[in-house]
Structure 1
Amino acid sequence: MDWRAVKFDWNKARAFLVTAEEGSLSAAARALGMAQPTLGRQVDGLEQELGIVLFERVGRGLTLTPSGLQLLEHVRDMGEAAGRMSLTAAGQSQALEGSISISASETYASVLLPPIVTKLRQIQPGIQVEIVVANHASDLRRREADIAVRNFRPTEPDLIAKKIGEAHAALYATPDYIARLGNPTRPADLARGQFVSLDRSGLMIKGLNTLGLGLTEANFPLLTESYIVMWELVRQGAAIGVLDAFIGDSDPLVARVLPDLPTLPFPIWLVAHRELTTNPRIRMVYDYLADALRRP
């Protein structure tokens, strides 16, 4: 291979890749943790080095040119190779000190992880922890996080997972809201209630109706993808919400709606990339989290 023919900087190629995937310079800058003008200069520099135009500006966004589209797949391959190299190197590191990132949903990240991470830092002050808040599944193969707390088992062969327990979701509302519903005693009584929805797919309605509630879309006048926003709406008395009973039962502002109603079970999995299990730091934190988050 003639290495002299490769005349572009990988950092600039990475700037191009992330900008193409994120759709704008501002989003790409946030993803890379760098200033937008710096990122823009890297993209401009790559265009100058290659002698082609990669993006066209459309309003406030960016659209790939035909040349940019042709190069994108090659740069994606480079990005995946860089990610594999980073994973392998991280797996070979024997140092206990260093940084680690843990991905979890808003609820777990804000309620369950802070006391656990506080104790972890007391035991191992040389470990720096980043908590990645993501209600979607972080891509561990692309190093969006080192460890993830999930409610489903991964199917990717290069990920390892440990089921650390079973959680149970219950219905909650303020005592005043429950009283306004006439203190319901049967599942069918909740058909006149209002709920906060967390998704547009209808899965939440289907899940609740397995309990005999008989709900329709009309029962869900509120929609948010944020668990924190959902829970605050419930705490303000706006509607009924669904949350992990371990968290919901500890909130003094709310109460279970129909306490005898069966809960909705869902698993808790701890996930990491297989390459990282050879890293003592990640192995230690993985095992620590498994013990701290374990449910009976």
Structure 2
Amino acid sequence: MNWQSITFDWNQARAFLVTAEEGSLSAAARALGLTQPTLSRQVAALEETLGVTLFERVSKSLVLTEAGVELAEHVRSMGDAASRVSLAASGQSQQVEGLVTISTTDLLATHVLPDILAELREKAPGLEIKILCTNSLSDLRRREADIAIRHVQPDHPDLYARKLREAPARIYAARSYLEKFGGKQLKKDAHRFDYIGFGNSEEMAGHLKAFGLDVTERHIRLGSPSGVVAWQFVRDGMGICIMADEIANRCPEVVPAFKDSEPVTFPIWLVTHRELHTSRRIRTVFDHLAEGLLAVDLTVVDDDTFC
């Protein structure tokens, strides 16, 4: 649909956009200082004017339809343009303020992002940063997040993605666990040990096989959907797990578990919406995350005397 050829009420458009960003009519009404019935009428009037359905109700939340996602981009651009005019007129165009939501895994959020975000807060103190821990890209398409850090390349045309680098990963174990078996091990003995899983056990077994380990799902004796929880089990000496070097390096109680195992790599993608090019606050956070993630120290901390 050619949205630019349609004239509509800006109050209705603003009501729609805030509802899309807040995820519910009640939250949007609070944000705009309106009653919920008034807001609902404005959104309904916009849908009637355009002749499209902009929201679908999922559980207690409102989710944008395809037409809603498309319109939200145009309305957001209109709002950003109006804000730039206002800021330029008031001499504040260099300030970067507002909420930016970053979606990433709980492991990266816990172990890697704190240092990066501390520097960002000094650089742009007017920003409000929210972290959403998930492995799904749907959070971006539903506008639950502005920027995502992912290990797979997105194929959705409305998303912009930049591959930052390849990240090495190894099989790690706590020193206390390996000491039970006399120190570091060889891959041929992989079947003797317990493995810690996070997420799908079948997929985890496949990843372990990529390291040349002869193990199956039955060797994954403990696990959690949370990567942070599973990694804590490893750190506490309860089994062996795959982990990125940049995270394991921050935990001196763990070491690579096998003497003869080489690392494998996986990609790190930084993903955002197309308005990266029009939203200064998103651009600022995107560029800072890229710089910080590229600067992460990947040197493996290993004690050669522990063997």
TM-score, normalised to structure 2, is 0.69
In the TM superposition, residue 125 of structure 1 has moved relative to its aligned partner by 1.0
RMSD of aligned C-alpha atoms?
Answer: 3.3
What residue ranges of structure 2 are gaps of 5+ in the alignment?
Answer: 1-14, 31-35, 41-52, 58-62, 85-92, 299-307
In the TM superposition, residue 184 of structure 1 has moved relative to its aligned partner by 4.5
Aligned-partner residue type, residue 79 of structure 1 = L
SS of 1:212's equivalent? coil
Alpha carbons of structure 1 residues 118 and 88: separation in structure 2 relative to 1, 3 Å: farther
Alpha carbons of structure 1 residues 143 and 74: separation in structure 2 relative to 1, 3 Å: closer
Matches within 5 A, 1:125-136: 125-136=125-136
Alpha carbons of structure 1 residues 34 and 256: separation in structure 2 relative to 1, 3 Å: farther
Match of 1:76 among 45, 51, 56: 56
Does residue 222 (structure 1) correspond to residue 222 (structure 2)? The answer is: yes
Matches within 5 A, 1:6-155: 75-76=55-56, 79-80=64-65, 81-92=67-78, 93=80, 94=84, 96-155=96-155
C-alpha distance in 1 between matches for 2:145 and 2:164 = 19
253-262 vs 97-106, greater mean Cα deviation: 253-262
**1:181 and 1:193 in contact (8 A); partners too:** no
Alpha carbons of structure 1 residues 272 and 191: separation in structure 2 relative to 1, 3 Å: same
Alpha carbons of structure 1 residues 89 and 149: separation in structure 2 relative to 1, 3 Å: same
SS of 1:202's equivalent? helix
C-alpha distance in 2 between matches for 1:167 and 1:223 = 23
Aligned-partner residue type, residue 275 of structure 1 = E
In the TM superposition, residue 137 of structure 1 has moved relative to its aligned partner by 2.7
TM-score, normalised to structure 1, is 0.72
In the TM superposition, residue 252 of structure 1 has moved relative to its aligned partner by 1.3
**1:197 and 1:223 in contact (8 A); partners too:** yes
Percent of aligned pairs sharing the same letter? 34
C-alpha distance in 2 between matches for 1:99 and 1:199 = 30
1:58 maps to none
In the TM superposition, residue 74 of structure 1 has moved relative to its aligned partner by 7.5
In the TM superposition, residue 75 of structure 1 has moved relative to its aligned partner by 4.2
1:7 maps to none
**2:135 and 2:150 in contact (8 A); partners too:** no
In the TM superposition, residue 162 of structure 1 has moved relative to its aligned partner by 0.5
C-alpha distance in 1 between matches for 2:285 and 2:54 = 35
Alpha carbons of structure 1 residues 260 and 33: separation in structure 2 relative to 1, 3 Å: farther
Alpha carbons of structure 1 residues 91 and 258: separation in structure 2 relative to 1, 3 Å: farther
**2:170 and 2:256 in contact (8 A); partners too:** yes
In the TM superposition, residue 163 of structure 1 has moved relative to its aligned partner by 0.6
Does residue 156 (structure 1) correspond to residue 173 (structure 2)? The answer is: no
In the TM superposition, residue 255 of structure 1 has moved relative to its aligned partner by 1.4
**2:184 and 2:259 in contact (8 A); partners too:** no
Matches within 5 A, 1:170-249: 170-200=170-200, 202-249=202-249
Alpha carbons of structure 1 residues 113 and 138: separation in structure 2 relative to 1, 3 Å: farther
**2:137 and 2:154 in contact (8 A); partners too:** no
SS of 2:267's equivalent? strand
C-alpha distance in 2 between matches for 1:287 and 1:191 = 44
In the TM superposition, residue 276 of structure 1 has moved relative to its aligned partner by 3.5
C-alpha distance in 2 between matches for 1:147 and 1:156 = 14
In the TM superposition, residue 220 of structure 1 has moved relative to its aligned partner by 0.6
Alpha carbons of structure 1 residues 140 and 238: separation in structure 2 relative to 1, 3 Å: same
What residue ranges of structure 1 are gaps of 5+ in the alignment?
Answer: 1-9, 20-27, 36-41, 47-72
In the TM superposition, residue 138 of structure 1 has moved relative to its aligned partner by 4.3
C-alpha distance in 2 between matches for 1:182 and 1:79 = 57
SS of 2:229's equivalent? helix
SS of 1:156's equivalent? coil
